[in-house]
Amino acid sequence: MSTTLKRKNLMNSFLEEHAYSLFQNSAKNKKFSILPLRNFKDMFYTGKISIGTPGQQFRVLFDTSFADFWVTSVYCQDPGCSKHKHFDPRESTTFEITDRHMNHLNKFGRIMGFFGRDIVRIGNVVIKNQTFALSQSQTSKILPCVPFEGILGLGYPTLATVGITPFFDNLMQQGIISEPVFAFYLNTKKKNGRVVMLGGVDHSYHKGKLNWIPVSESRYWQITVDRISMNGKVIGCTNRCQAILDTGSSSVCGPTRLITKIQRLIGARPSKGCRYLISRRVNTTIPPVVFTINGVDYPMHPENYILRTSCGLCVRTFVGGTEEMTESETWILGDVFLRLYVSVFDRGNRRIGLAPAV
């Protein structure tokens, strides 16, 4: 038994070191691309893309909890569509229509439309025959107000409309990237910060080595959390639980009863104009919320989840309601968590790497 364990530990160590070395030189790789992202009030991170010939410019949200790719089109007559740029397939000489349709309900609302194919350019990356949806209807209270014209999903193909090849799968199949990896840096400390990386990871964006976490279900970018604690006491994931890393969400979401417990422990109370308000004048005594994942602690300190407003110390970053998604305890780790770390999504090895952002 001890020999078997030693061999297993040696193999795990070898795999970790070998996999890490695969991405050491991504920044110098010609098949590696970095795209700047724009931060909109710490709620959305959007990037510029071009569709068609000649190219039509749009801003899209890169969303790891979604797998399809859609943009607002000239065929959408909903009030919210008029406030955004529209893709017009008649203006593209390379556009091809398909017989597929999209009818998708997600956190932003219901999007309906039809799929077409065209050339898509993202930074120095050019993807031919990329399938995407042209919206005909956008039923949403949120979408009219957002600073983007579409969503580019980076979730697993099992989330996509049947018969549709997602964007990242096209990158892999066409050999546009050398590694089946993408990564996000959403912090604001680096001078040219807030980027999405395609085909690898630039290690100058993080401190220390990446800690790898197995994907527990190849649908969402879903992982197993060991526990959630404050002041050394377990307050969530008592018997381990699941979490989804979601670049399309700004908050940390969890079961309502546990979110209420966190608010109580940090001394927050419900308030108008602010989800919760902390009555204390200083937040130095408020403890961090620590997510322990695959044996590693990932703390969210008060300065990460508390906003200073004219009303006082406001907590808007913890949101309940995941019990409506599933009966088992599930959390969504959105941008407020991801800003603290470089997040590497490794499709080839079905895992996620996290390391503190510089």
The amino acid present at 297, given as its one-letter code, is D
Q: In b/e form, how buried is each residue of 200-230, taking b as 16+ CB within 10 angstroms? A: bbbbebbeeebbbbebbeeebbbbbbbbbbb
For β-strands 252-254 and 318-320, DSSP reports them as parallel
CA 107 to chain centre: 13
User: Is residue 63 flagged as an active site residue?
Assistant: yes
The Cα 245–Cα 64 span in angstroms is 7
The Cα 96–Cα 108 span in angstroms is 27
- Catalytic residue chosen out of the listed positions 63, 68, 202, 346: 63
- Catalytic residue chosen out of the listed positions 68, 118, 246, 335: 246
266 CB-contact burial (10 Å; exposed 0-12 / middle 13-18 / buried 19+) = buried
User: Is residue 42 flagged as an active site residue?
Assistant: no
The Cα 303–Cα 306 span in angstroms is 5
Look at residues 358, 225, 244 and name the one whose alpha carbon lies nearest to residue 297.
225
- Catalytic residue numbers, as ranges: 63, 246
